[in-house]
Structure 1
Amino acid sequence: MSVEKDLYAILGASPTDSVQQLRHKYQKLALQCHPDRLGDVCDIVAETSRKMFLEIDAAWKILCEDETRKTYDQQRRARELKQDWPVDSVVSLEDMTWDQDELAYTYSCRCGGQFSFSEEELERRIDEEKTNESQHVVVCCDTCSLSLYVK
């Protein structure tokens, strides 16, 4: 998963929940969106529910076993420690504006500042991120502490 989904959030749970609490939340959600329990619904609702069910089931399969849960918790914690800035959003490069005068891509921050970087800087960061097998580049705002992921 890129910018991984939190498996606990998928189940509406917390990392401190016991396996029994996780099972209860899983069962409740699974009953709500299980394809066999939907009855007559349109194809879009059925497909959305099927995807939700698969996501819930996958999260449960990882969190219900001690060993896989421990591994997931370690990976989750490592991601949290690696990220030392608040991420405001994820945008694609196409969402950004090319500033011909500055020769840079820009994107407005909610604080009124700008996220910006040159094409040369983008290429350098992409090369760095490829070695980390990441699919995004982190850019910081020029006025506040927020950052965003650029895909």
Structure 2
Amino acid sequence: MCEAAEKDLYAVLGASSSDSVQQLKHRYQQLALQYHPDRLGGEASSEVESAVKKFLEIDAAWRILGDQNTRRQYDLQRRAQELKQDWPVDSTVYLEDMTWDQDECVYTYSCRCGGGFTVSEEEVEEETQRRQQADEEEETEDEEHRGVVVCCDTCSLSVYVTWSLQNKSQLLKCQQ
């Protein structure tokens, strides 16, 4: 699915992420009929080759978006990629200021819209390890804080959640 994440699979089907599975299936069926190699029997080989490529692209998009689990995974990858873009960050929030949810093993912080920002313990640990490895490779330890950009689950605001490595022992709450 990594290769597919580079292309907008919804655009391949001429659809949007808010479309239902039935709408996606209908778009897929229309495009599959239009570009199916069997329908282009007598045309020039370059046109057939182009149609086959388009058909395979459409089919690959449908295989991912037609299944609930792979679609959810794809949507999460798209959202993560969008978060990596240089979007304005509303504010910085310190992990210590967030509320710990023991049942879910996540940190939460309320947004002004009434929604919330959520960071899992796994995300904190992964980012901490990733940044420590980067520091070791560069042989520098000048950066004591780590962080991730998190979007509100309701509105378009995002915050930069940061934490200090010196407080790392306090962060491992779920594993204890």
Q: Kindly tell me: are residues 49 and 25 of structure 1, through their superposed partners in 2, closer, same or farther at Cα, counting changes over 3 Å?
A: same
- Structure 2 partner of 1:24: 26
Gap runs ≥5 in structure 1 = 86-127, 132-151
- Structure 2 partner of 1:70: 72
Matched, 1:9 2:11: yes
Q: Following TM superposition, by how much is the alpha carbon of 1:2 offset from its aligned partner in structure 2, in angstroms?
A: 8.6
Q: Secondary structure at the match of 2:82?
A: helix
Distance in 1 between the 2:16 and 2:5 partners?
A: 19
Distance in 2 between the 1:3 and 1:60 partners?
A: 13
Q: Following TM superposition, by how much is the alpha carbon of 1:61 offset from its aligned partner in structure 2, in angstroms?
A: 0.3
One-letter amino acid of the counterpart of residue 4, structure 1: E
Q: Secondary structure at the match of 1:48?
A: helix
**Does the 8 A contact of 2:4 with 2:61 survive in 1?**
no
Number of equivalenced pairs: 87
- Structure 2 partner of 1:135: none
Q: Following TM superposition, by how much is the alpha carbon of 1:38 offset from its aligned partner in structure 2, in angstroms?
A: 1.0
- Structure 1 partner of 2:83: 81
Distance in 1 between the 2:4 and 2:69 partners?
A: 23
Q: Which of residues 34, 41, 44 in structure 1 aligns to 2:43?
A: 41
Identity %: 63
Distance in 2 between the 1:14 and 1:62 partners?
A: 14
Gap runs ≥5 in structure 2 = 88-133, 138-176
Distance in 2 between the 1:57 and 1:33 partners?
A: 10
- Structure of higher CA gyration radius: 2
Distance in 2 between the 1:33 and 1:80 partners?
A: 31
In the TM superposition, what whole-angstrom CA distance separates every residue of 1:100-119 from its partner, at most 9, and x where no partner exists?
xxxxxxxxxxxxxxxxxxxx
Q: Which of residues 35, 50, 53 in structure 2 aligns to 1:51?
A: 53
Normalising by structure 1, we get a TM-score of: 0.54
**Does the 8 A contact of 2:10 with 2:16 survive in 1?**
yes
In the TM superposition, what whole-angstrom CA distance separates every residue of 1:25-84 from its partner, at most 9, and x where no partner exists?
000000000001112111100000000000000000000010000000000110011011
One-letter amino acid of the counterpart of residue 84, structure 1: D
Q: CA RMSD in A?
A: 2.0
Q: Secondary structure at the match of 1:14?
A: coil
Q: Secondary structure at the match of 2:6?
A: coil
**Does the 8 A contact of 2:5 with 2:78 survive in 1?**
no
Runs of 4+, deviation exceeding 4 Å: none
